[in-house]
Amino acid sequence: MPMQIGEKEFKQRVTKGLDDNFMRGAVRSAQGRLQNNRASAADELGDWEDWRTLGKEIRQHTIEHLDYYLHQLSEKVAELGGNVFFAETAEEANEYVKNVVKSKNAKKIAKSKSMVTEEISMNEALEELGCDVVETDLGEYILQMDDHDPPSHIVAPALHKNKEQIRDVFRDKLGYEKTEKPEELALFAREKLREEFLSAEVGITGCNFAVAESGSFALVTNEGNARMVTTLPETQITVMGMERIVPGWEELDIVVSLLTRAAVGQKLTSYITALTGPKQSEEGDGPEEFHLVIVDNGRSKILGTEFQEALHCIRCAACINVCPVYRHVGGHAYGSIYPGPIGAVLSPLLSDYDEYKDLPYASSLCGACTEVCPVKIPLHEQLIAHRRNIIEEDKKGSLAEKVAMKGFGQMAGSANLYQMATKMAPILSTPFSSKNQIRKGLGPLKHWTESRDFPKPANESFRSWFKQRNKRGVQHDVRKH
């Protein structure tokens, strides 16, 4: 699945989202739970702000020395007998993985959840080879069965579906005969996927964090599928976005502690699996062969810019879980596999403004995202920076808006013009108002008054009241009380 998903036009996608009551109900309740879980986990830990500060410092230091740590990582992996491939583009990454799979003559590939492989359309590339690629994360499996419905959330990809819809997918595609009870659905998937794990020749995983000092990888999961994928197949391929790395184990502790709490409110998820190289020769299970693919795919464009902090992201989705815009439009409306606030920041960076110029505006700048981000990425400020870039550098703003803003700048930058404008307000709006509210506005107000009334300007502005009052000589409060 490429990064871009859904209809071409942002407006269409939004309307589709707003009209989807099923989805909105599912998202609303999921957000509620996730928000509560996160908040209580943070409270329980105590010192949450200190944890965030430390998380931010670690991420910042790592990204500022990314070349060093990636070098160290690759050295360690190679020492352990693993192969490392640095892929600048999606094509390079897919080509490499395809070659590994071909050399193994593999037919079945089991995958655990990985956003970066979605981003680079790795499944499609492997399917071209005639391979059977099975997503084994329950949420991803559901989507794959549903004719590759795109993910709508980076942690819970099938968040937009309710259990009845999932039951129907299993029934129509897999002959499932039981009810919509989540336990029954999960048990069914467990049995189906067991067969796949046992017969897969290659396992592909993503990577939550690589540990540079030892050449290790941590996979953070609850279901156990990533353990299966790294225990049973003979060959393991791990694909990581180049920023997903920490210097050492002590830093791993911090980012994992932040991730599990911020993402799902757990102290640790059921399984944190830290893998170091292929299995040792004297060991029984585990992969004989290990490949690491480190992917750039546009990330290095972000380095050294005002958006560098976006690379600090640990993909916890806390910002998505609090976002009111996401709540109403759902993940697919963003048109990117990275939705929500981080998606609105990241998608235009990994792709471009042509593709994603609407996303930075899909925010009321309420700052809820910035407040919860466990590594303190100033998400709403980054959205404003995008807007500034779109206007000042990319020159993509609408002409009308530009003229209006220029006028605004001149007006608000000058006392006389400003005062004139404020004086004009009541006069100009009088013909359109009933009582004290305007029900049908013109120009930009038109959109406003589609759903809300607009107040009628007061007959006497504050400034003229104040002037009169001073003339009358009222200085200090002389009213009796």
**What part of residues 243-262 is at the interface with ligand SF4 (CB under 6 A)?**
262
Taking CB under 8 A as the criterion, the residue among 189, 210, 240, 373 binding other proteins is: 189
CA–CA gap between residue 67 and residue 71 (Å, rounded): 6
Please pick, from the candidates 202, 246, 292, 318, the single residue that binds ligand SF4 as defined by CB under 6 A: 318
Question: Using CB under 8 A as the criterion, what x/- string covers residues 102-131 for binding other proteins?
Answer: ------------------------------
325 near other proteins, judged by CB under 8 A: yes
Per CB under 6 A, which of residues 259..278 are in contact with ligand SF4? 262
Cβ-based neighbour number of residue 384 at 10 Å: 13
Residues in the chain: 481
Least distance between other proteins and beta carbon 130 (Å): 25
Under a CB-based contact definition with an 8 Å cutoff, are residues 161 and 24 in contact?
A: no
Among 14, 87, 329, 377, binds ligand SF4 (CB under 6 A): 377
Query: d(Cα 179, Cα 164) in Å, to the nearest integer?
Result: 8
Looking up tokens 């806390």 gives 318
What mask, x for binding other proteins by CB under 8 A, covers residues 273 to 302? xxxxxxxxxxxxxx---x---x-x---x--
Q: Which of ligand SF4, other proteins, none does residue 231 bind to, with CB < 5 to 8 Å depending on kind?
A: other proteins
Contact between residue 33 and residue 363 where contact means Cβ atoms under 8 Å apart: no
User: Quick one: tokens of 393?
Assistant: 């550098």
Give which of other proteins, ligand SF4, none residue 89 binds (C-beta under 5 to 8 Å, depending on kind). Answer: none
325 contacts 334 by C-beta, under 8 angstroms: no
Secondary structure element (H or E) that encloses residue 4, with its range:
none
Neighbour count for residue 63 (Cβ, 10 Å): 20
- Using CB under 8 A, which of the segments 114-122, 126-134, 201-209, 452-460 binds other proteins? 452-460
Nearer to other proteins, 47 or 130 (CB): 47
Residue 273 binding target from other proteins, ligand SF4, none, CB below 5 to 8 Å by type: other proteins
Cβ-defined contacts of 421-426 (< 8 Å, 24+)? 422/461, 422/463, 423/461, 425/457, 425/461, 426/456, 426/457, 426/458, 426/459, 426/461
Residues 7-36 binding other proteins (CB under 8 A) are 14-15, 18, 26, 29-30, 33-34
Closest contact distance (angstroms) between CB of 2 and other proteins is 22
With CB under 5 to 8 Å by kind, the binding choice for 18 among ligand SF4, other proteins, none is other proteins
Nearest C-alpha neighbor of 73 from the set 294, 231, 259: 294
> Where on the chain is the footprint of ligand SF4 (CB under 6 A)?
262, 313-319, 342, 372-375, 377, 379
